Structure 1
Amino acid sequence: MAIEIERKFLLANDAWRSQIQHSTRIAQGYLATDPTVRVRVKGTTGFLTIKGKSADGISRAEFEYPIPVEDALELLNLCPNVLDKTRHLISQGNLTWEIDEFHGDNAGLIVAELELPAIDTPFEKPDWLGQEVTGDVRYYNSMLSQTPYCRW
């Protein structure tokens, strides 16, 4: 079984922008949220992802499968709300920060995520990193699709 171990943070400033190595526009929607069933179009590739519940707020089961982009686009039409974001990548040692800059109803929200190989993996916190929001459900993408940032 695949396990996702992820930490999530707000950003303290815009200094991260000068370190971006790659950016991709992403559209994603949710067919279900318990368990999470996500459809994503990332660039020209489609994905179907199923995520279990988090027992510790940091890790959970995750199964992700590539699907034809045409199928992903059709499935997004079944989703009540579709998130629009740009994902920026910043490598730091053997780890990669994924910084999601949201658009539309979630514009103004920027969140940095770091996937770890183990819960106790040490990592350097860059100067641009702000408050940790790992366990705050408001920042889950599935929740942002239901209650967008503009309504907080």
Structure 2
Amino acid sequence: MAVEIERKFLVKNHDYRHMAVGSTRIMQGYLSTEIRATIRVRLCGDNAYLTVKGANIGSVRDEWEYEIPVDDAMRMLERCAAGAVIDKERYRVPHEGHMWEVDEFHGHYEGLVVAEVELSDENEEVAIPDFVGKEVTGNTRYYNSVMASADNLRVVDGRLV
């Protein structure tokens, strides 16, 4: 079992694009969005994963991830995903000893851009890049699992309302 510790922020400009060391298109859907455990299927480039995440306790939660066959993931997304399939481009941006992941959402959430940074400790200090704006860690509307199942969320001025 792994533990995920991450902070999440809105992005205020596109400067991350010229800082990125690469990007990958991601399609993901949820088989379960229960509060105590979400189960996600993700197509990420030429790979696919099944991920189980426990409930958040602040910025910390348990996480298990397994690589699965791409064909299986595609079929799960088509036949089993509850709600919408999330479509996003993920940029990997190194900044002062941390690798930031910046997600540009497409489709229903076009215009939303969110940056996340994973930490090794909940109290770890992290240098915030200039492209990063308001912190939304713990704001459930920015959980991809909530976005996939929410009918009433929309993007206004780069944030979810």
- What's the counterpart of residue 136 of structure 2? 133
* SS of structure 2 residue aligned to 1:32: strand
Q: TM-score, normalised by structure 1?
A: 0.95
CA shift at 1:94, angstroms? 3.0
- Give unmatched runs, 5+ long, in structure 1: none
Q: Distance in 2 between matches of 1:103 and 1:140?
A: 15
SS of the equivalent of 1:75 reads helix
Q: Deviations over 1:26-51 (max 9, x none)?
A: 00000001110000000011100000
Aligned letter for 2:124? T
Contact 1:37 1:51 in 2 (8 A): yes
Q: Is the 8 A contact 1:4 1:59 kept in 2?
A: yes
**Residue 31 of structure 1: aligned partner:** 31
TM-superposed CA distance for 1:16, in Å, is 1.6
Residue deviations 1:99-145, cap 9 Å, x none? 00000001010000001111111111111110000010010000111
The 4+ residue runs of structure 1 with deviation greater than 4 A are none
In structure 2, what is the equivalent of residue 89 of structure 1? 92
Question: What is the Cα-based RMSD across aligned positions, in Å?
Answer: 1.3
Question: How far, CA to CA, are the matches of 2:154 and 2:103 in structure 1?
Answer: 13
Q: 1:149 aligns with which of 128, 149, 154?
A: 154
Contact 2:95 2:129 in 1 (8 A): no
Q: Percent identity?
A: 46
Count of matched residue pairs: 151
Aligned residue for 1:124, secondary structure, equals coil
Q: Are residue 49 (structure 1) and residue 51 (structure 2) matched? A: yes
CA distance in 1, matches of 2:154, 2:88: 13
One-letter amino acid matched to 2:38 = T
Question: Normalising to structure 2: TM-score of the pair?
Answer: 0.89
Q: Distance in 1 between matches of 2:63 and 2:114?
A: 20
Amino acid at match of 2:96: G
Residue number in structure 1 paired with 2:11: 11
